[in-house]
Amino acid sequence: MVLGTENKALALIAVANEDRESSWDVIQKLHALGIRKTVMLTGDNRTTADIRATLIVTVNGLRLLRIKNE
């Protein structure tokens, strides 16, 4: 978020949600069971989804948002 006047930025604020540690544990357990392809459905934009998808094979950024809107 950018805070400012009509023609001058005064502050930049970055916000992010923390991932649940259990999410990564579940993915690792699925992989240990032989499930190799996992998909992350998210309402986040593609860049945010890619950053969060360190252990996930397929990322569908904004897919969940599209499904919710249908």
Residue from 55, 53, 48 nearest 27 by CA: 55
Within a domain: residue 12? no
Pairing label, strands 9-12, 2-4: antiparallel
Within a domain: residue 51? yes
Within a domain: residue 13? no
When divided into structural domains, the chain yields a total of 1
The whole-model pTM stands at 0.41
Within a domain: residue 6? no
User: d(Cα 11, Cα 2) in Å, to the nearest integer?
Assistant: 6
Within a domain: residue 40? yes
Within a domain: residue 64? yes
The 3-state DSSP class for residue 11 equals: strand
For 41, the domain range is 20-69
Amino acid sitting at position 32? A
pLDDT 10s digits, 15-64: 766 767 777 788 778 888 888 777 777 777 888 777 777 656 555 555 55
Within a domain: residue 59? yes
